Amino acid sequence: MNKPNRRKIITQKNWLDLQRKLDNLEWQLSFIRDNMQTRTKNYLRFDECVPPTSVCKDVVSMMDGMKTYTGFIGKLADYYGCAIMQAYVDINLDPKYNAVYYADRKTTYTKPTVSKSTILHEFFHHLVALHIVVCEKEDEEKKADVYARTFLVRAGEE
Ligand SMILES: [Zn+2]
């Protein structure tokens, strides 16, 4: 005699519930992975992420004489031991912005003339995107401004 089939029939609704649970688990897993990375990589806290005076001064003097973005960005990348941020002038940039940083491309696009403070603000986004600095998403804009200001003050600019 056949046993009754006790397997649960997967209905469309069950399927969606399972999918949702799986998405949730994946999300939790990525959160745990990030936290493990945080511990092994020793992310910088915000209050320790601005370089020392000598580095700020060097970077700012390179910015003063800059014809391209490469010099000072290379210097910053060396200091943090990270990948360089790509930076390009975009003459078609939305006029609302001085510059825009794309985390997926690790690239910033700027207006043809841009202030030191703007480019340092964008570099902060780069540090967050590379998980070098810990920063809550909702604080990122404000902290990018503070980073740029602190950097310039340390270099003796303001
Ligand atoms: Zn920003």
pLDDT for 95-147, tens place per residue?
999 999 999 999 999 998 889 999 999 999 999 998 889 888 899 999 999 99
Q: With CA atoms as reference, report the closest residue to 128 among 151, 102, 155, 149.
A: 102
* 100 Cα: distance to centroid of ligand 1 (angstroms): 7
The pTM assigned to this predicted structure is 0.72
Residue at 2 is within a domain: no
Residue 14: pLDDT band (50, 70, 90) is: confident
Q: Does 109 reside within a domain?
A: yes
H-state helical runs in the chain: 12-41, 53-64, 70-80, 116-129, 140-154
Distance of CA 15 to CAs 2, 25, 87, Å? 27, 15, 45
| Domain residue limits at 109 | 46-154
Q: How far is the CA of 34 from the centre of ligand 1 (A)?
A: 22
Is residue 22 domain-shared with residue 59, that is, in the same domain? no
Residues 37 and 84 in one domain: no
Counting the structural domains of the chain, the total is: 2
pLDDT score at 28? 72
- Do residue 12 and residue 33 come from a single domain? yes
How many whole angstroms from 142 Cα to the centroid of ligand 1? 8
Q: Report the range of poorest mean pLDDT among 10-24, 33-47, 120-134.
A: 33-47
In the reported structure, the alpha carbon of residue 143 is separated from the centroid of ligand 1 by a whole-number distance in angstroms of: 9
Same domain, 147 and 74: yes
